[in-house]
Amino acid sequence: MSVNKVILIGNVGREPQVRYFDTGNAVASFPLATTERGYTLQNGTEVPNRTEWHNIVFWGKIAETVEELVHKGDKLYVEGKLRTRSYDDASGIHRTVTEVYGENFELMSRSQSGEKGASPVLPEDVTADNLPK
């Protein structure tokens, strides 16, 4: 048996980029920052905060929901799985990237610049009852 499960709670680093394919399928991607608090050792040495950046990718209807609801600075709970892919960039350099393929998300709080109190516009087949929990 094996398990590939990621759970993150962090802050959205930029507005999600959403692309639509000819088939109508959507993909949303954005960075999510998680921070471990710094601390002071008994000998007085200070260990600073450590921030990790995660590449988050959502596909399909949930990507369309991300486009409507998620904004830079929002605190987000994300569940998904790790995927690693490789490609050659424009300069011919071989690159490897690890992404979290999101399966579920929950908006925990809006950024200060977010539209507090505004009702989000959802795709037709997405209702409050079938939003990710």
Query: Helix or strand or coil: residue 14?
Result: coil
Task: Indicate the pLDDT class of residue 32, thresholds 50, 70 and 90.
Answer: very high
CB of 60 closer than 8 Å to CB of 106: no
**So what's the pLDDT on residue 110?**
77
- CA 25 to each of CA 38, 89, 131: distance values in angstroms, whole numbers, following the listed order: 41, 24, 18
**So what's the pLDDT on residue 74?**
96
- Please tell me the pTM assigned to this model: 0.77
With a cut of 70, say whether residue 132 has pLDDT above it.
Answer: no
Tell me the H-state helices in 27-70: 61-69
- Fold category of 6-34+49-130 in CATH: OB fold (Dihydrolipoamide Acetyltransferase, E2P) (2.40.50)
Task: Indicate the pLDDT class of residue 73, thresholds 50, 70 and 90.
Answer: very high
What pLDDT, in 10s, does the model give residues 79-130?
999 999 999 999 999 999 999 999 999 999 876 655 443 334 334 444 444 4
Distance CA 103, CA 62 (A): 8
**So what's the pLDDT on residue 109?**
84
Task: Indicate the pLDDT class of residue 36, thresholds 50, 70 and 90.
Answer: very high
Among candidate residues 55, 35, 56, the one with its CA nearest the CA of residue 104: 56
* CB-based contacts of 110, cutoff 8 Å, min separation 6: 71, 73, 74, 116
